């Protein structure tokens, strides 16, 4: 992976969704790592430094909300942007995700331009 390219961790229990999201982002300026659930994602974060996370909300083992909470407690990941992808339309869930530290909540299905733009804005806004 090129040093100047940003690393994005994609977390989703669906290999097809991970591949689609990675394809959307790799065509831009990003290198992508993948994890199949929140537990796997925490292991990736233990060994890799990433610039942004794009995570599904509903996953087995460790869902997106619990993953986000645990990630925010890890050294070096308090301010890393996290975008949550969900099919949920309930604003209460979105508010809870924001309180837990989500940078943004995006609805599935998502268009490539919308995802790339959200990732770019999230990385640019990082403190």
Per-residue pLDDT at 89: 76
Domain ranges of the chain: 6-124
Residue whose C-alpha is closest to residue 36's, from 59, 6, 4, 70? 59
Q: Which CATH superfamily includes the segment(s) 6-124?
A: Response regulator (3.40.50.2300)
Residue with tokens 């530290």: 101
DSSP 8-state code for residue 76: T
pLDDT, tens digit only, all 127 positions of the chain:
445 789 999 999 999 999 999 999 987 689 999 999 999 999 999 999 999 999 999 999 999 999 999 999 998 999 999 999 998 876 778 889 999 999 999 988 899 999 999 999 999 988 7
Cis peptide before 109 (omega within 30 of 0): yes
């Amino acid at each position: 992976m090129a040093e100047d390219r940003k690393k994005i961790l994609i977390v989703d229990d669906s290999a097809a969704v991970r591949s689609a999201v990675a394809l959307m982002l790799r065509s831009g300026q990003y290198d992508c790592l993948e994890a199949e659930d929140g537990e796997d994602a925490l292991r990736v974060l233990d060994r890799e430094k990433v610039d942004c996370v794009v995570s599904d909300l509903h996953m087995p083992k460790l869902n997106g909300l619990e993953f986000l909470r645990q990630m925010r407690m890890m050294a070096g990941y308090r301010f890393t942007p996290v975008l949550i992808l969900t099919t949920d339309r309930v604003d209460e869930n979105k508010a809870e995700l924001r309180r837990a530290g989500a940078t943004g909540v995006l609805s599935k299905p998502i268009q490539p331009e919308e995802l790339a733009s959200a990732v770019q804005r999230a990385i640019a806004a990082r403190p």
